[in-house]
Structure 1
Amino acid sequence: MLLFPHATPHAFTVPAGATADLACATLDFAGGEAHPLVGMLPEHVIVPLAEVPGLGSTLELLATEASSPLCGHRHVIDKLFEIVLIKLIRHLLEHPEAGRHPHTSGLLSGLAQPQLARALTAMHESPEHPWTLAELAEIAHLSRSAFSLRFRELVGVPPHEYLIGWRITVAQQLLLHDHAVIDVATAVGYSGTSFSRLFAQRVGQSPRAWAQTRAHAGA
């Protein structure tokens, strides 16, 4: 399986006389390259199907659905590809050498480190919580200084900066599902005014304008 997370230009060639079947899909994350999941992935991933349990059979189902446009096949394909992506990310977490250079920083590096993974999971599961450095360090079973240093070394940004980025990502997902701005702000731990100001600083548009732009783009 080949994955190009960053829209890297690429081309496939097949030797003369040979044939190949390709099943292609496009990933679209709210926030684009700024999405933590996109940032955690390398320029490209090449994984033999046999190395990831269940990946080959899932791709076979996906190919079958793609070649037989029955009722609901679009939704089935989307869900199957989500499963493929989850399996691939699990593989990269368990075998980080397969997807990154040893000195690469990012979410993948942080999740591969058990102590930081606990803190990252806490932030992901409760973005609305007013996390402090002391709380996150305690979850990671590290001192505040050790946690802050290790987090920055492996993830690439300070904990607070990462939390803000994650909150923006969660907010974008909620906005895409037509949640009111005030409800989105509460869901990610801000008041309406402070959230709108922060969102505009990070994204370049107000929450409402961003949601409208995305809606028009997908229309």
Structure 2
Amino acid sequence: MLKSAEKAADWLLSGLELRSTLFHVGQYCGVWRASTAGHQRASFHLVLEGACWLHLPASFGRAARSTRLVAGDAVFFMHDTAHCLSPDEHAPADDAFAVRIGAMTPLGANSEPEAGVALACGFFEFRSDLGDAISGLLPEHIIARHDDVKLAGARTTFELIRAEAARAQDAPSPLINRLTDVLFFYALRAFASSDDFAPGLWSVMRRAEFAPLVNAIIEKPGDDWNTHTMAALCHMSRARFCKQFAEACGQPPAQFLALLRMKVAAEMLRHGESTSNAAEHVGYQSESAFAQAFKRITGLQPGACRRARGREQADAAETRVH
């Protein structure tokens, strides 16, 4: 049985495959404005040295926001989000967010580095056992602060990123990509235990009244988890349970249950278990009904999930041989 929301989050993120790609690393000085928006991809910015401002325009009921970032901070955008970085604490006009100003120069090219900011910027993509269902529950962006006590373990990772950026004069070090992956996972874990999250998956895991239910479903996903049994485990009436769960999670209990079940099933399939065994373990008597649910939530057929695992193992074996 999982003991905490953080462990539950680790379990949920264990099937998440992340691939970071460094776009550029260098420094800006004087008047400049930078952004990774408009590429239809998730992206990140790491502040290696100096300070700057992150500006977000008003969107979908969210007020415009400007946040100061300093050395050691990082921001990860889960989706293609309108934003810009600049040295100015005042945000540009809404129609100027997409206008880039200034040019990035190599690290160390400026004789007065304190006058500017050094950045590592790039894109990332992540696939999950749960497909778009996971990314849809994540926040628009996550800011990882250098002084966040929950990110103490990430500081060494950031220092390694900074060291790799400093030594790569001609081309960015490929290690920065992998180190950024690690930093991103630290940021996600910190978000899972933060107090200023948006309603969603982590909210349910952290709520004392729902945490036992989440752990129980993970432990025995094939049990008869209807809304009555879930409400009873949480010591609530069915109506109160459904209302409070939906408010905390942003989706009804049945949809959340399906997410956890398919996560468990995907892990089994990736480890070579048959589709029929995976289906039965998570509560499906019909293999075809399970396949339909699995496809709807993960975007893959069960067989494709098993074959993907086989390809990964073959690639790993080929790498060891050569």
Q: TM-score, normalised by structure 2?
A: 0.50
Larger radius of gyration between Structure 1 and Structure 2:
2
Larger proportion of strand: 2
Q: Residue by residue, what CA displacement relative to the aligned partner does 1:33-75 show, whole Å, maximum 9, x if unpaired? A: 213xx3332111112121134121243356668999xxxx98x
Deviation of 1:81 after TM superposition, in Å, equals 4.3
The answer to whether residue 128 in structure 2 is matched with residue 29 in structure 1 is yes
Which residue, out of 12, 35, 49, partners 2:146?
49
1:1-219 superposed matches below 5 A: 1-6=74-79, 8=81, 17=110, 18=116, 20=118, 22=120, 26-35=125-134, 38-53=135-150, 54=152, 55-61=154-160, 77=178, 81=181, 84-85=183-184, 87-97=186-196, 99-100=197-198, 105-193=199-287, 194-200=289-295, 202=297, 206-209=301-304, 211-212=306-307
Judging changes above 3 Å, is the alpha-carbon distance between structure 1 residues 192 and 51 closer, same or farther for their aligned structure 2 residues? same
- What number of residue pairs does the alignment pair up? 204
Deviation of 1:163 after TM superposition, in Å, equals 0.7
Larger proportion of helix: 1
- Structure 2 residue runs of 5 or longer lacking an equivalent are 1-73, 87-102, 111-115, 168-173, 316-322
Judging changes above 3 Å, is the alpha-carbon distance between structure 1 residues 109 and 203 closer, same or farther for their aligned structure 2 residues? closer
Q: Residue by residue, what CA displacement relative to the aligned partner does 1:114-168 show, whole Å, maximum 9, x if unpaired? A: 2123222322333222223233223323222211111112212221221112222
Q: Calculate the aligned-residue CA RMSD, in Å.
A: 3.9
**C-alpha distance in structure 2 between counterparts of 1:205 and 1:95, whole Å:** 32
**C-alpha distance in structure 2 between counterparts of 1:94 and 1:164, whole Å:** 23
- Identity of paired residues, percent? 26
Deviation of 1:204 after TM superposition, in Å, equals 6.2
Contact 2:271 2:309 in 1 (8 A): no
**C-alpha distance in structure 2 between counterparts of 1:85 and 1:204, whole Å:** 24
Compare relative contact order (CA 8 Å, sep 6+) and give the higher one, 1 or 2.
2
Q: TM-score, normalised by structure 1?
A: 0.69
Judging changes above 3 Å, is the alpha-carbon distance between structure 1 residues 89 and 138 closer, same or farther for their aligned structure 2 residues? farther
